[in-house]
Amino acid sequence: MNQPIAANTGSGDFPKNAPVRGWCLAASLAVAVLIAAPGASRGQAAGDPGGFMATLGNQVIQLIGNRQQPAAQRKQQFAQLVNQSFDVDGIARFVLGRYWRTASDSERQQFKQVFDTYMIDVYWGHFNQYTGQRFVVTTKRPVGEGTTLVTSQIIQPSGQQPVNVVWRVSSHNGKYQITDVSIEGVSELVTYRQEFASAISQNGGNVATLINQLRQKDQQIGGQS
């Protein structure tokens, strides 16, 4: 899961090791939010960002434990949790960057759909690799109206160095959503944005090419999940 992003080949193709490193890690290990240190997330009210993360963790933990449920059904429920918990629309606009403004309405809609499906399949593949890591919420820090940075660590069962993860949680009309995840100080959205901009620019600013590349990549990933 911690593979580096592949170097650009210069061919204009979407990178084979697209920047799934941190997002996969964060999404798949968010399952352990309730296994936090005493006084971290368990003691928080459901109405604050920590409580939001705890609730999300509880729901996903239930999916992990229910191995008798068909995989396809569990994947569908997992997709619902991701779409409810992440600001998918806002993330799609951000990662497409300046090309969002030049894309047609049809391209925007197609990109949002294929990017969402792509992310679900990526998350799901790593979700099933959960091996007992612990998720410890350490601090919460408001950074603006309606936005909180929830700092956490992923504790490795092997005794390796913990992974530092910061979740940007925003509130819109009383609803909390994750708008970014930073792994060891690196924003995953910024990484996606850079990779996508590179792929589009190498194809003459053609957003449709990126959409097709993402769709092909998702077909490969989806077939393995």
Domains of the chain: 21-224 (3.10.450.710)
Tell me the C-alpha to C-alpha distance, in Å, between residue 177 and each of 103, 171, 196.
26, 6, 23
Average the pLDDT over 15-37 and give the result: 46
Which distant-in-sequence residues (6+ apart) come within 8 Å of 128 by Cβ? 225
Assessment of whether the complete model's pTM goes beyond 0.85: no
Query: Which has more confidence, 26 or 183?
Result: 183
Q: State pLDDT tens for residues 42-69.
A: 334 456 887 787 677 667 666 766 778 8
Segment 101-151, tens digit of pLDDT:
999 999 999 999 999 998 888 877 766 666 666 667 778 889 988 899 988
Is the pLDDT higher at 137 or at 86?
86
166-221 tens-digit pLDDT: 889 999 877 899 999 888 888 989 999 999 999 999 999 999 999 999 999 988 87
